[in-house]
Amino acid sequence: MSAIRAGVVQAIVECFGCDPAEIADDTVAADIEGWDSLGHTVLMMRIERLLGFKIPEIVAANAENVGDLVAKLEQLRPPPA
C-alpha cells in the first residue's frame, strides 16, 4: 500500500469511524455513513495534514471514488526534498 493510499484510508477511518477493511478503490462517499458534503471537506483537510500538501479544490470535488482520489494525489505529490 502506498503512503498516499495509507494516508487516505487513515483519514477516512478517523473522520467516519469505519473499518479500514470497508475501504476499497471503488468505495464512494455514499458507501460510508456520515460522508456528506461537510464530511468531505473535513476529510480533505485531514488528508492535507496527513500528507503534507494542499489538495486543489478541483481534485477534491471531482474524485469519483477512493482509487481515483489516490491516483490524483499520487500525481500531485511533491518530489522528495
- The pLDDT profile of the chain, 81 residues, written as one tens digit per residue, is 799 999 999 999 999 999 999 999 999 999 999 999 999 999 999 999 999 999 999 999 999 999 999 999 999 987 776
Q: Is 72 inside a domain boundary?
A: yes
- 37: burial class by Cβ within 10 Å (0-12, 13-18, 19+)? exposed
Instruction: Report the CATH number that the domain containing residue 40 is assigned in CATH.
Output: 1.10.1200.10
Residue 24: CA count within 13 A, CB half-sphere: 4
Q: Is 57 inside a domain boundary?
A: yes
Q: Is 69 inside a domain boundary?
A: yes
Q: Is 65 inside a domain boundary?
A: yes
Question: What local confidence, expressed as pLDDT, does residue 16 receive?
Answer: 97
Q: Is 41 inside a domain boundary?
A: yes
- 11 and 27 Cβ atoms separated by less than 8 Å: no
Residue-range definition of the domain harbouring residue 22:
3-76
Q: Is 81 inside a domain boundary?
A: no
Residue 26: CA count within 13 A, CB half-sphere: 0
Question: What local confidence, expressed as pLDDT, does residue 77 receive?
Answer: 83
Split into its structural domains, the chain has a count of 1
Rounded CA separation 63/61 (Å)? 6
The C-alpha cell at 27 is 468505495
